[in-house]
C-alpha cells in the first residue's frame, strides 16, 4: 500500500508539473515572439526614431553607399516610414468590421431565432465551412470577380451619386480599399456568426418564456433578451474577427494593388497593410547589404503585434468594467 501510495503521489506531481508547463507554454511562446521582434527591431527603432511612425516614404536605398547611423549599418539616404501601411491596416480592418459585424449578427439571429431547425442546421454547416476556406481563395475570388465588378459598376455609381460624401467621390480603381474591406468582411463573417450563433443558442428558455409572458414579439425577445445574454461572446467574436482582418496577408495582397508611399484619399484608393507589405517585401529586404530593411520589417511586425494585443486587452477591459449586462437584468420592458 505504501509503495502504491508513493507511486500515486509521484504521478500526481508529474501530472501537476506537466499541466503547469503546458498551461504556461502559450505565455512562453508569446514572450519568445515578442523578444525576437524586439531584438531584430531595436536597430530600426534607434536609427529611424519617430520618423518611422510619421512619414510615408519607404525607400531602402539599396543602390546607395553603406554608412553608419547611430552605431548601426544603414544605406545612405534610406528612409523607412510605416504611416501608409499603418493607416491601410486600420482603415481596411475597420471597414471590414463595419460591413461584416452587422452581416454576421444578422446571420446568427436568423439561424437561432428565425430559421426552422432543419434549415438552421444545414446553413450552420455551410457557414462553418466558409471558415475553413484558405485566405488566398478569397483573395483570388476578389481579384477575378469582386474587383472588376466594383470597377465597372459599383464604384462609378457610388462616385456619381454619392460623390458629395467625403471620401466617396473621385477616380475609381477597383483594386483598393473598398475591395480589401469587402473581402476581409467576408472572411470574418464565419468566425463572428458561428460564435455569436452558439452563444445565442445558449440563452435559457426561461428568459425567453418570461419575455413571451410579458407580451414581447419574437424580435423584441431577440433584441432585449438574446442579444444582451450573448453580448460577451459577441464582443469576443468581433475581436477574433478583427484579429484576422488585421493580420490577413494574401487576400489583401491580391485585391489592394499594394500602394507604396501613398495614403488613401478615397474609398477606392489602392492601399497597403502591415502584414501584406511584410509578405511581399521580405524577400527583397534580404538583399539589403546593411540589413536595416529587415530590421524595419521586424519593427513593422512589432507594431502589428502591439495593435492586435491592445485590441484584445481593450475587449477584456470592456467586459470586466460592467459593459456586459448581468443575466438577471436582461428582460426589459
What are 69-91's pLDDT values in tens digits? 999 999 998 999 999 999 999 99
Every domain of the chain and the residues it spans:
81-283+315-329
**What value does the mean pLDDT take over residues 129-133?**
84
Instruction: Please give the pLDDT value at position 98.
Output: 95
Instruction: Please give the pLDDT value at position 120.
Output: 87
Give the DSSP per-residue string, 42-95. HHHHHHHTTHHHH---EE--TTS-EEEETTEEEETT-EE--HHHHHHHHHHHHH
Instruction: Measure the CA–CA gap between 204 and 226, rounded to whole angstroms.
Output: 9
Pick the CATH number of 81-283+315-329 from 3.20.20.70, 1.10.3720.10, 3.30.70.580, 1.10.10.10: 1.10.3720.10
Indicate if the pLDDT at residue 156 is higher than 90.
Answer: yes
Indicate if the pLDDT at residue 2 is higher than 80.
Answer: no
Instruction: Measure the CA–CA gap between 315 and 235, rounded to whole angstroms.
Output: 7
Task: Name the band, by pLDDT with cuts 50, 70 and 90, for residue 15.
Answer: confident
Instruction: Please give the pLDDT value at position 291.
Output: 93
Instruction: Please give the pLDDT value at position 312.
Output: 80
Give residue for cell 494585443: 309
Q: What percent of the chain has pLDDT over 90?
A: 48
Amino acid at each position: 500500500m505504501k509503495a502504491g501510495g508513493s507511486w500515486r503521489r509521484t504521478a500526481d506531481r508529474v501530472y501537476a508539473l506537466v499541466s503547469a508547463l503546458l498551461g504556461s507554454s502559450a505565455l512562453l511562446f508569446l514572450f519568445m515572439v515578442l523578444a525576437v521582434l524586439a531584438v531584430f527591431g531595436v536597430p530600426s527603432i534607434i536609427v529611424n526614431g519617430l520618423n518611422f511612425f510619421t512619414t510615408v516614404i519607404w525607400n531602402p536605398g539599396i543602390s546607395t553607399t553603406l554608412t553608419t547611423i547611430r552605431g548601426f549599418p544603414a544605406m545612405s539616404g534610406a528612409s523607412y516610414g510605416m504611416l501608409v501601411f499603418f493607416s491601410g491596416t486600420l482603415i481596411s480592418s475597420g471597414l471590414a468590421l463595419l460591413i461584416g459585424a452587422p452581416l454576421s449578427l444578422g446571420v446568427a439571429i436568423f439561424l437561432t431565432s428565425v430559421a426552422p431547425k432543419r434549415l438552421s442546421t444545414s446553413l450552420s454547416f455551410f457557414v462553418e465551412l466558409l471558415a475553413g476556406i484558405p485566405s488566398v481563395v478569397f483573395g483570388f475570388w476578389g481579384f477575378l470577380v469582386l474587383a472588376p465588378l466594383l470597377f465597372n459598376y459599383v464604384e462609378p455609381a457610388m462616385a456619381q451619386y454619392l460623390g458629395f460624401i467625403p471620401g466617396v467621390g473621385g477616380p475609381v480603381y477597383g483594386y483598393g480599399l473598398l475591395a480589401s474591406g469587402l473581402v476581409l468582411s467576408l472572411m470574418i463573417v464565419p468566425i463572428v456568426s458561428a460564435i455569436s450563433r452558439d452563444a445565442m443558442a445558449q440563452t435559457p428558455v426561461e428568459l425567453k418564456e418570461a419575455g413571451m409572458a410579458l407580451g414581447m414579439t419574437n424580435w423584441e425577445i431577440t433584441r432585449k433578451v438574446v442579444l444582451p445574454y450573448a453580448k460577451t461572446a459577441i464582443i469576443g467574436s468581433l475581436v477574433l474577427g478583427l484579429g484576422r482582418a488585421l493580420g490577413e496577408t494574401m487576400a489583401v495582397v491580391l485585391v489592394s494593388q499594394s500602394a507604396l508611399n501613398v495614403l488613401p484619399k478615397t474609398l477606392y484608393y489602392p492601399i497597403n497593410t502591415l502584414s501584406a507589405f511584410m509578405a511581399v517585401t521580405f524577400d527583397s529586404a534580404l538583399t539589403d547589404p546593411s540589413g536595416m530593411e529587415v530590421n524595419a520589417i521586424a519593427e513593422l511586425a512589432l507594431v502589428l503585434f502591439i495593435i492586435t494585443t491592445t485590441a484584445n486587452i481593450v475587449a477584456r477591459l470592456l467586459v470586466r468594467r460592467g459593459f456586459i449586462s448581468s443575466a438577471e437584468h436582461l428582460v426589459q420592458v
